Amino acid sequence: MPFIPHTEAETRSMLETIGVEQLDELFDEIPQSLHAAPSADVREGLSEMEIGQLMRERASADDGVLCFAGGGAYQHHIPAAVWELTTRGEFYSAYTPYQAEASQGTLQLLYEYQSMMSSLMGMEVSNASLYDGASALAEAVLMAVRANRKVKSKRVLIPQTVHPRYRQVTETLVRHQGIELVELNYDLDKGVVDPKSLKISEEDAGYAALVIPLPSYLGTLEDVHTLTDWAHSHEMLVVGLVNPLAMTLLTPPGEWGKKGADIACGEGQPLGIPLASGGPYFGFLCCRQSLVRQLPGRLIGRTRDLENREGYTLTLQAREQHIRRSRATSNICTNQGLMVTAATIFMSLMGGSGVEQMATASHQNTDKLVERLSAVEGVRQRFLSPFFHECVLTLPVAAERVLERLAAEQIVGGIALSADYPELENGLLVCATELRTEAEMGRFTTALTRAIQAEKGAA
């Protein structure tokens, strides 16, 4: 809505009609701790023109910023045609395609998306997306607990190297269903799951599933084959949490171990979705055919009518998802349709080889960046183990303070890790996608050197 159409008199009239004195009373169920404080920069009574000017100033502050941060959101090249096509009216205004006969274009696009994601993950089935990577992991955990008929336990193993926000979101969504997330420690030297934490006693009640990140939040690569076979030997289902771009170079979840992972999920943002101050993103969720009836969301099917004409339709979508929430497989009834549209067009334009080249270039650039930064006095690579796309460095001073100094030079220098991982004191997660040039990496290295020296001097 471009503007608020109600006058103060109309608003008062509506509040009087429903017996409420102030508008804020309609939102009194929101805890005070979650209320946002008024912005000191937006004084009362600004006109539309003045507000517009203020927002343009805020937006321009992001211009020219050099980004070396990853952690689940990545700055990749997006062909111009992707969003020119995505924002055409046919796609831009399309909503959930309940009427198949009137939604063939949207349904075909979603069918193509499902086909691409299934192929990328080495899986047999994909749904038509979820809200984001974090909620996709939560849905995968719920699905694994429902689907595992061999183990009655509602406990799920999840490594500490899974994205901290993903773990928090998953905990929020599953705890009220009696599901317990049991964290696995990681090896402080290698940055991967500590083998010692995989020991299960005979008295243990067992676990429904194991989550395996590839790559991990710290950029490291787990021994997915060993972990998958270990989980299956203990009657767990395996949930692969993966970066879709990385799957063009690494073994996809469907091929892990002897049997392959059972479920694959993750964040689709690297597939043609720009960085935009926190979203929107979209989550993907794939599985093996035997679990399809536990798959949340919706599936698009291809068929032929009585006249042998090819057509597309919604299939395997329980009506409970719309009218009986307590009976639903999942309460996500719609999806991030526009983002999926962009991702489908992106993958179609780039092709398998194009996406693979992006992944290769991203990894090569990160390798170069780590080599450059490790030459700075006091900076070292934290984990001497294989990584993809991003890597943890240890600085000689507080990473948070260094990032503040870099920000003053229009450089997003990575992500400080100590808040989520206290044991990684002065840890900095850095990333370089295919967009980063040698000159930009040189600028970052010089700026980091200055920032470290300045911070040492301030101490």
Q: What's the CATH number where 113 sits? A: 3.40.640.10
**∠ Cα 216 222 223 (to 5°):** 165
Whether 97 and 245 map to the same domain: the answer is yes
CA distance 423 to 264: 29
Whether 73 and 84 map to the same domain: the answer is no
* Cα 138 from chain centroid (whole Å): 12
In a domain, 59, yes or no: no
| Straight-line distance from the first to the last Cα atom of the chain, in angstroms, rounded to the nearest whole number | 50
Whether 316 and 404 map to the same domain: the answer is no
Of the candidates 320, 345, 370, which is a domain's last residue? 345
**∠ Cα 411 413 418 (to 5°):** 145
In a domain, 103, yes or no: yes
Whether 157 and 276 map to the same domain: the answer is yes
**∠ Cα 261 256 366 (to 5°):** 110
Of the candidates 345, 361, 376, which is a domain's last residue? 345
In a domain, 43, yes or no: no
CA distance 105 to 199: 51
Whether 376 and 236 map to the same domain: the answer is no
In a domain, 368, yes or no: yes
Of the candidates 345, 367, 399, which is a domain's last residue? 345
How confident is the model at residue 1, as a pLDDT?
43
**What total of structural domains would you count in the chain?**
2
Whether 249 and 121 map to the same domain: the answer is yes
**∠ Cα 431 436 440 (to 5°):** 105
CB atoms within 10 A of CB 277: 7
Whether 296 and 372 map to the same domain: the answer is no
With a CB cutoff of 8 Å and minimum separation 6, the contacts of 422 are none
Is residue 113 within 8 A of residue 335, CB to CB? The reply is no
Is residue 209 within 8 A of residue 238, CB to CB? The reply is yes
In a domain, 201, yes or no: yes
CA distance 52 to 173: 38
Is residue 142 within 8 A of residue 174, CB to CB? The reply is yes
How confident is the model at residue 202, as a pLDDT?
67
Whether 155 and 105 map to the same domain: the answer is yes
Helices 399-407 and 438-458, packing angle to 10 deg: 120
How confident is the model at residue 57, as a pLDDT?
81
* Cα 165 from chain centroid (whole Å): 9
CA distance 355 to 85: 19
CA distance 219 to 239: 18
How confident is the model at residue 49, as a pLDDT?
83
How confident is the model at residue 93, as a pLDDT?
76
Is residue 243 within 8 A of residue 136, CB to CB? The reply is no
Whether 257 and 302 map to the same domain: the answer is yes
How confident is the model at residue 204, as a pLDDT?
73
How confident is the model at residue 91, as a pLDDT?
83
In a domain, 16, yes or no: no
Q: Return the HEC string of the chain.
A: CCCCCCCHHHHHHHHHHHCCCCHHHHHCCCCHHHCCCCCCCCCCCCCHHHHHHHHHHHHHCCCCCEECCCCCCCCCCCCHHHHHHHCCHHHHCCCCCCCHHHCHHHHHHHHHHHHHHHHHHCCCEECCCECCHHHHHHHHHHHHHHHCCCCCCCEEEEECCCCHHHHHHHHHHHHHHCCEEEEECECCCCCCECHHHHCCCCCCCCCCEEEEEECCCCCECCCHHHHHHHHHHCCCEEEEEECCCHHHCCCCHHHCCCCCCCEEEEECCCCCCCCCCCCCCCEEEEECHHHHHHCCCCEEEEEECCCCCEEEEEECCCCHHHHCHHHCCCCCCCCCHHHHHHHHHHHHHHHHHHHHHHHHHHHHHHHHHHHHHHCCCCCEECCCCCECCEEEEECCCCHHHHHHHHHCCCEECCEECCCCCCCCCCEEEEECCCCCCHHHHHHHHHHHHHHHHHHHHHC
Is residue 284 within 8 A of residue 110, CB to CB? The reply is no
Radius of gyration of the chain (CA): 24
pTM, full prediction: 0.87
Whether 407 and 308 map to the same domain: the answer is no
| Structural domain harbouring 155 | 80-345
How confident is the model at residue 321, as a pLDDT?
57
Q: What's the CATH number where 416 sits? A: 3.90.1150.10
How confident is the model at residue 169, as a pLDDT?
95
How confident is the model at residue 3, as a pLDDT?
60
In a domain, 442, yes or no: yes
DSSP strand pairing (66-67 vs 411-412): parallel
In a domain, 171, yes or no: yes
Residues of the chain falling short of pLDDT 50: 1
Whether 104 and 70 map to the same domain: the answer is no
DSSP strand pairing (299-304 vs 310-315): antiparallel
Whether 374 and 252 map to the same domain: the answer is no
CA distance 73 to 414: 11
